[in-house]
Amino acid sequence: MTVYLPGDVINEPSSSDSSIIGYGISVRGQTRIATQPGAFHNDDGKVWLNVHSKRYIPQEGDRVIAIVTSKTGDFFRLDIGTAEYAMINFTNFEGATKRNRPNLKTGDIIYATVFDTTPRTEAELTCVDDEKRARGMGQLNGGFMFKVSLNHCRRLINPSCKILQTVGKFFKFEITVGMNGRIWISASTSDDIIKIHDIINKSEFITDEDELITLVQNNYTRSVSD
């Protein structure tokens, strides 16, 4: 793993013919400069830096968990953990019409897709796809929402990640992972929710599978009220 700091010139030989410059790298003339501290990656003509960060920057197509902060006319104002609030129109919910409006209050949690991130305007979100179907998006009721780092969320979303599979063998739960570092979980009892929350938080820096199984087992057998 090659680590670059801001201001370093990226001199990887395989990166000279890359055509797509990704996250954390900026181009000055012919040189490529790292703007954020991260681990260098290149894959199939793309170069980028994996940055450890907590603050989310919206990208089109990302699935995020948003908190309703206010309502202004036809739009709801949403907090997705970015530098500016995001917006969603009431027509971007499944089955919403002018007469049938979604019933959202301040503090409600929704799961949505970012579909417009023009600079200098607020990000726009939607809860439907091109065919006006929700496909799992919309309001999240009950459960518990907490924040982790962005990299941990990407790791959990990865299909080859073992964390959620291992937790699924011990607990019956429902989970929504947003790309903005927010995770929503729901289970039958509060004790289970607390245990799953602790497992996800503690597994951020665990790579060994046996260590992960031990962590899940210990949380499964412990008593929360102690």
Partner 1 sequence: MNIISEHGFRIDGRRPAQIRNINTRLGLNRNAEGSCYLEHGNTKVLCAVYGPYEGKSSKRIEDKCAIVCQYSATKFSGLERKNRTRGDRKSTEISRLLEKAFESVILTEAFPRSQLDIFCEVIQGDGSNLAACVNATSLALADAGIPMKGIASAATCGVVDGKPIVDLTSREETDLLPRVTLATICGRDEVILVELQNRLHIDHLSTVMDAAKATCADVYECLAVVAQQHLKACAPILGN
DSSP 166-213: HHHHH--EEEEE-TTSEEEEEESSHHHHHHHHHHHHHGGG---HHHHH
Among 12, 15, 21, 39, binds partner 1 (CB under 8 A): 39
Q: Give CA 197 to chain center in angstroms.
A: 16
The CB-of-135 to partner 1 minimum distance in angstroms stands at: 28
Strand partners, 2: none
* Candidate list 46, 54, 135, 222; residue touching partner 1; CB under 8 A: 54
Q: What are phi and psi of 122, to 5 degrees?
A: -70, 150
Residues 101-160 within binding reach of partner 1 (CB under 8 A): 119-120, 149, 151-152, 154-155
Q: How far apart (Å, rounded) are the C-alpha atoms in residues 80 and 148?
A: 13
Asked if residue 3 binds partner 1 (CB under 8 A), the reply is: yes
Q: How far apart are CA 176 and CA 216, in angstroms?
A: 19
Question: Is 89 a binder of partner 1 (CB under 8 A)?
Answer: no
5 belongs to the binding site for partner 1 (CB under 8 A): yes
Residue 75 in the binding site for partner 1 (CB under 8 A): no
- Helix (H) / strand (E) element for 152: namely helix 150-157
Pick the closer one to partner 1 by CB: 41 or 63. Answer: 41
Q: CB 91 → partner 1: shortest distance, Å?
A: 24
Q: Which of residues 162-201 bind partner 1 (CB under 8 A)?
A: none
Q: Does 51 bind partner 1 (CB under 8 A)?
A: yes
Q: Which is nearer to partner 1, 69 or 89 (CB)?
A: 69
Nearest to residue 117, comparing CAs of 166, 69, 59? Answer: 59
The CB-side HSE value for 191 (13 A sphere, CA atoms) comes to 9
The site for partner 1 (CB under 8 A) is made up of 1, 3, 5-8, 24, 26, 33, 35-39, 41, 50-55, 57, 83-85, 119-120, 149, 151-152, 154-155, 204-207
